[in-house]
Chains A and B, each alone.
Chain A
Amino acid sequence: MTGNDRSTSRPADERTNGDTRSNTASPAGDRTRPTDTAASDPTAKPSAIHGEALRIGYPSTEEPVVTTDRVDVPAGEVTALVGPNGSGKSTLLKALAKQLEPEGGSVLLDGRDVAEYGPKEFAREVGLLAQENEAPGSTTVEELVYHGRYPHRGFFEAVSTADDEAVDRAIDLAGVDHLRESPVSDLSGGQKQLVWIAMTLAQETDVLLLDEPTTYLDLRHQLQVMEVIRELNAERGVTVAVVLHDLSQAARFADNLIAMKDGAIYDWGPPRKVVTEALLEDVFGVAATVDGDTPEGPTITPHRPVDRGDDES
């Protein structure tokens, strides 16, 4: 692992003295930062989920795929995991979502090891939307969203009014009310994704983890999905961690970025600190110009791939 020093916690805040957030906090006026005053002291901002001394791998791999001393998903904020293909961002997300048990270290939700949570109990706290999802052909949107209530219902329990209300809220927030009775198989890719997000929203969790929710969507639906996520975060204070393929999109929408390279965290912090020309060259292997002064977050203009010898993408 190169850059062991960089994989330790909060380098972006450490490298700059003083308040890193206050001078960048208002590029997009719609972003709410509930704990702005604590920005200069990163340890004061509590993490919804954090990982300690993580070594994450699959049964089929000898070496761990992801190693990191510390990873934080700050409560009430949107955190985006970015990095090239194979950098381990989805793997890290799976470990945070309790889908993959780390080989070493632990993931803690509100300070408690996720291994101690029962499956349904955890699913009431943390929602996860996988990258690709498949529903049986004739399932209607409403039926699918009702499955989001699974962790709230006992084995023999019928639907309660709380379930109905949660489903209505989820469908409303995802903006799929007009599709309610349609079979999921009749929907476009973008509509499907919004419906799946609605199902995850119906879980009514405080934390939401999403694995590349925009990757295969057209631009309009990509923006729609990101809007829903921002709205969820702003209105309900839901903590979001999202793996994004598109660095520009991540820079625009997220409060924090976690940039990953070769299974380690290369850098993390607010987009304006993390997205630099050096990062694009080191992590993504791209020569690019970064304009950090635009109101919508840093703008990236990629030029050409950099020859790195060990090229993989």
Chain B
Amino acid sequence: MAEASGDAGTTETTRPTLRDRLRDVVALVDGSLSSVALVSTAIVLVGGLVQVSFGTYTMTVGQAWNAVFDPAVWSSPGLLARLFLGETIAGWLAGHFGWHLDVELAHETIIVWNVRLPRVLVGAFVGMCLAVSGAIFQAVTRNELASPYILGVSSGAGLAILLTLVVFSGMATFLPAFAALGGTAAFLLVYAIAWQGGTSPVRLVLAGVIVGTVFQSLQTGIFFFADDVGVVQSAIAWTTGSLTGTDWEQVRIVLPVTLFVSVLALAGARQLNVLLLGERTARSLGMSVERVRFLLSAVAILAAAGAISVAGIVGFVGLIVPHMVRTVVGSDYRRLIVGCLFVGPALVVGADVGARLAFDPIQIPVGIVTGVVGGPYFLYLMRRTRHLGEL
């Protein structure tokens, strides 16, 4: 029975067929999950339509619908490629396939597609990233109060944002990258502090608190050196999370991250389930707990960093979305991750409607809305669910 390599495979002769795989997928989608998906998609659609119809040039929801689903756009691969993949790749593809990059479009379509739709899309992707990231961290730390920011990510990113805006203001164009890097660096620092021949959920969370406290103080300290109200407002927008001014550029940053992270999270769902059985059980089942924990954390950090780089530090989404989904579909991570991919966008897109239109013409950061909505919802969950104490 002794085989050369431990992880390479099994000794069984029957390998899963395509039918087995399909059966696995179908088994995941039950009534509760599909209703979560349907309701969330409806919220994203309605929120998105409201977003694209209001503004300085207001149109009816019907017009907005027609603009979003304008056949002139959807039948032009060149235009879609330019928007989603960027000028360079689109140009290359267009040359290759003979596509046209520029298409004559109606006025409404131009406004919707060029100005308003990117914000909805970015909101949706940010919601996916944060929800998945939070779900992963809640399993990795075995702590249901964990959020994407629990391991120092928000404070690291915040410090990087403040440093860029106030101290190295010449490099403001790199702010998204710096924010993501700052968050990742803080996470690595947390991991290094927590590591003592291995980690444990408790040590990770404590190290996160330590790093968070120090970085938070530094970040607050830097505010005093800001000499311009504009800089302070910009810093606040970044550190509370805002979708104001997002463009296709941001879509092109966050879209690949979202796809990549979603695939990895879905693939890792079974690992997360086993991790939830506790470290000892996971280890006795043959899991390399430290490695799996670090890799899953890295996926979650990548998701959070992706969201931060386009929207800043949007709070509460990563904390409450996994909770909301869990109360409906249960704690199986295969279903939970799928649910998060739907509910996350619903929350962020919905909240952004409020952030953009509630105090028109003043736009507030979407993070403020998610916080204001998320807090009470969390309280409601706490009151309603008796066994919130268990994951």
A120 B273 Cβ-Cβ under 8 A = no
Distance, CA A23 to CA B16, complexed state (A): 51
A119 close to B (CB within 8 Å): yes
Chain B proximity of A173: nearest CB distance (Å): 18
| A150 near B267: Cβ-Cβ < 8 Å | no
Question: Complex formed: what's the CA distance from A117 to B15 in Å?
Answer: 23
- CB–CB A119/B267 < 8 A: no
Q: Mark B342-353, 1 if CB is under 8 A from A, else 0.
A: 000000000000
| B10 lies within 8 A of A119 (CB) | no
Q: Which residues of A contact B276 (CB under 8 A)?
A: 135-136
A121 in contact with B3 (CB, 8 Å): yes
Contact of B14 among A128, A151, A155, A162 (CB under 8 A): A162
Q: Is the interface of B mostly helix, strand, loop or mixed?
A: loop
Q: Scan residues 130-164 of chain A and give those whose CB is less than 8 A from a CB of chain B.
A: 130, 133-139, 143-144, 147-148, 150-162
Query: Which range contains the number of B residues in contact with the other chain?
Result: 35 or more
Task: Identify which of A120, A134, A154, A159 contacts B24 (C-beta below 8 A).
Answer: A159
Interchain CB contact under 8 A, B283 and A139: no
Contact partner of B16 among A59, A136, A157, A206, CB < 8 A?
A157
| Residue pair A160, B15 in contact (C-beta under 8 Å) | yes
Q: Is the CB of B284 within 8 A of A158?
A: no
- A137 contact from B10, B11, B283, B387, Cβ within 8 A: B387
CB contacts (< 8 Å) of A155 on chain B: these are 267, 271
Q: How far, in Å, is A232 (CB) from chain B's closest CB?
A: 17
A169 to chain B, nearest CB (A): 14
Residues of chain A contacted by B104 (CB below 8 angstroms):
none
Does B103 count as interface, using CB distance less than 8 angstroms?
Answer: no
Query: Within 8 Å of chain B (Cβ to Cβ): is A124?
Result: yes
A177 interface residue, CB < 8 Å from B? no
B146 to A: closest C-beta gap in Å:
14
A127-B6 in contact (CB<8A)? no
Question: Does the CB pair B331–A99 fall under 8 Å?
Answer: no
Given contacts A147-B277, A155-B267, A160-B15, contact A123 B20 (CB under 8 A): no
Question: A220 vs B56: C-alpha distance in the bound complex, in angstroms?
Answer: 75
A139 near B15: Cβ-Cβ < 8 Å: no
A119-B288, A159-B20, A160-B20 known; A153-B10 Cβ under 8 A = yes
- Whether B274 pairs with A118 at a CB distance below 8 angstroms is no
What residues on A are CB-neighbors of B387 within 8 Å?
A: 137, 185
Return B194 CB to nearest CB of chain A, in Å.
Answer: 15
Known A59-B197, A137-B387; judge A117-B285 contact (CB<8 A): no
Q: Give the chain B neighbours of A153 by CB distance below 8 A.
A: 10, 270
A152:B12 contact, CB within 8 angstroms: yes
B16 touching A158, Cβ below 8 Å: yes
Kindly state the separation between the CA atoms of A110 and B390 in the bound complex, as whole angstroms: 40
Q: How near does chain B come to A77, taking the closest CB pair, in angstroms?
A: 19
Q: Are A139 and B332 in contact (CB under 8 A)?
A: yes
Complex contacts, A161 vs chain B, CB 8 Å: 14, 20
Most buried by B among A121, A122, A160, A185: A121
Can you name the residue of chain A whose Cβ is closest to the Cβ of B326? A138
Please determine whether A203 and B278 come into contact, CB atoms closer than 8 angstroms.
no
Within 233-283 of B, Cβ neighbours of A (below 8 Å) are at 267, 270-271, 273-274, 276-278, 280-281, 283
Indicate if B167 sits at the interface (CB-CB under 8 A). Answer: no
- When distances are taken between beta carbons in the complex, the residues of chain B under 8 Å from A236 are none
Beta-carbon contact of A121 and B274 below 8 Å:
no
Give every chain B residue within 8 A of A154 (Cβ-Cβ). Answer: 7, 9-10
CB distance from A213 to the nearest CB of B (A): 14
A129-B21 Cα distance, complex, nearest whole Å? 29
Contacts of B11 in A (CB 8 A): 124
**Residue pair B390, A147 in contact (C-beta under 8 Å):** no
**Most chain A CB neighbours (cut-off 10 Å) among B13, B281, B284, B332:** B284
Q: Are B285 and A130 in contact (CB under 8 A)?
A: no
A125 within 8 A of B: yes
CB pairs A–B below 8 angstroms (26 shown): A99-B284, A110-B1, A117-B6, A118-B5, A118-B6, A119-B286, A119-B288, A120-B6, A121-B7, A122-B6, A124-B1, A125-B1, A133-B278, A133-B281, A136-B277, A144-B277, A147-B274, A150-B270, A150-B285, A153-B270, A157-B16, A159-B16, A159-B20, A159-B24, A203-B285, A206-B1
Interface residues, chain A, CB within 8 Å of chain B? 59, 97, 99, 110, 112, 117-125, 127-130, 133-139, 143-144, 147-148, 150-162, 185, 203, 206
Query: Which 8 pairs, one residue from A and one from B, show the smallest C-beta to C-beta distance?
Result: A118-B6, A123-B286, A138-B330, A151-B286, A121-B6, A120-B286, A136-B331, A128-B284
Not counting A120-B7, A158-B16, a sample of 15 additional A-B residue pairs whose C-beta atoms are within 8 angstroms of each other reads: A59-B197, A99-B280, A99-B284, A123-B286, A125-B1, A133-B277, A136-B276, A152-B12, A153-B10, A154-B9, A159-B24, A160-B14, A161-B14, A161-B20, A162-B12
Q: Which positions in B face A, CB cutoff 8 Å?
A: 1-3, 5-7, 9-16, 20-21, 23-24, 197, 267, 270-271, 273-274, 276-278, 280-281, 283-288, 330-332, 387, 390-391
